[in-house]
Amino acid sequence: MNSQILKIFYGLVALFFISINAQVQRNRSTTLMGCRFDFTIIADDSLTAEKHIDSVINEILRIENLISDWKSDSQISKVNQNAGICPVKVDPEVWQLTRRALYISEITEGAFDISFAAIDKIWKFDGSMVQIPSSKQIKESIKNIGYKNIILDSLNSTIFLKNPGMKIGFGSIGKGYAADKAKELMLNKNVKAGIINASGDISAWGKQINGKEWKIGIVNPFNPADIMGAFTIHDKSVTTSGSYEKYAEINGKKYSHIINPQTGYPVRGIESVTVIGPNAEMANGFSTSLMVLGEKKGFKLIDRFPEYSCLIITTDGNIRKSKNFNIKLKIYEKQLSPKSKF
């Protein structure tokens, strides 16, 4: 009799420990900041996981209302509306984000520039272009771009755009920043694992519910419907910029939607750049910048920041890794471009 009681007791204890250690994984997708966000959260129960996703969405909506230049009442829109007129006081969070954006501009020597938002839309990537813009049109379109004309006042927390017609926008790092802030919020709530995917700007922490690291796929830029390779991460961020996302084809020649802010011309020579590092905002700035800088200058830049690494796929199909790329990458050879080599 005693042995039966002990068996029941130990059985109940085992069930208790299983229940307290059991976790669930919940996924949700929605549109925020003009793009798709995918959320995966691991929590003790479904209701808690869903509540965490709700709080993450509210955090991203908060950020969107601060920095979205397409919302007329946002702080960034007010900065743009007062270009050449007067400085505008903004929240310290917005001021600091702008300061960090200018830092990226400095280290990339203008390959990255948040005042790119002022460019006239002379390049069309909706299939309507039949000829490339003239050199005069291009020169005119970039006249209001110049990060050195963005004046920050730390004492008063103001941003001033010196020239009328200037405009700033955070399309290049805003999603990465939002992903970072969502992760930070979850860590503060003691959420042990999750992944935020802001249309390719990814911030992950912890591990999947099965104990494995998060698996990240790399799109084959020569056939975007396919995944050309994959690697796993935990407690890392990954961003990818690519010429294949949008482009114009004129007289059999493709022109990327990624424009060099200094020249006004689409970038050439690189199909995609994937950057891995501790911070999605910074990785996003790097992936955009490296598309503009090109392979040689891009590697020279990333090598200065050992906590970040990158993978570049060139237009002729070569796959290049930065010196500090130490992540195990699995290549699916059958899906590579015939010109590609590793």
Has residue 244 got a pLDDT over 50?
Answer: yes
Residue 171, in any domain of the structure: no
- φ, ψ for residue 58, nearest 5 deg: -65, -35
Q: What is the CATH number of the domain that holds 266?
A: 3.10.520.10
Has residue 225 got a pLDDT over 60?
Answer: yes
- Dihedral-angle region of residue 270 (phi above 0 means left; psi in -120 to 50 means alpha; beta otherwise): beta
Has residue 99 got a pLDDT over 70?
Answer: yes
Q: What's the structural domain count of the chain?
A: 2
Q: Binding residue per annotation — 199?
A: no
- pLDDT score of 119: 87
Q: The domain containing residue 251 runs over which residues?
A: 24-67+177-335
Q: Among all chains, which residue has been given the structure tokens 């060139």?
A: 314
- pLDDT score of 17: 40
Choose one of 128, 161, 194: the last residue of a domain. Answer: 161
Local confidence band at 341 (pLDDT 50, 70, 90 cut-offs): very low
Mean predicted lDDT score pLDDT of the chain? 89
Residue 9, in any domain of the structure: no
The helix/strand/coil state of 41 is strand
Choose one of 129, 161, 193: the last residue of a domain. Answer: 161
Q: Binding residue per annotation — 288?
A: yes
- pLDDT score of 283: 97
Residue 169, in any domain of the structure: no
235 & 307 share domain: yes
- pLDDT score of 5: 52
Q: What is the CATH number of the domain that holds 135?
A: 1.10.3980.10
Residue 340, in any domain of the structure: no
Higher pLDDT, 161 or 318: 161
Interval 68-75 mean pLDDT: 90
311 & 202 share domain: yes
219 & 296 share domain: yes
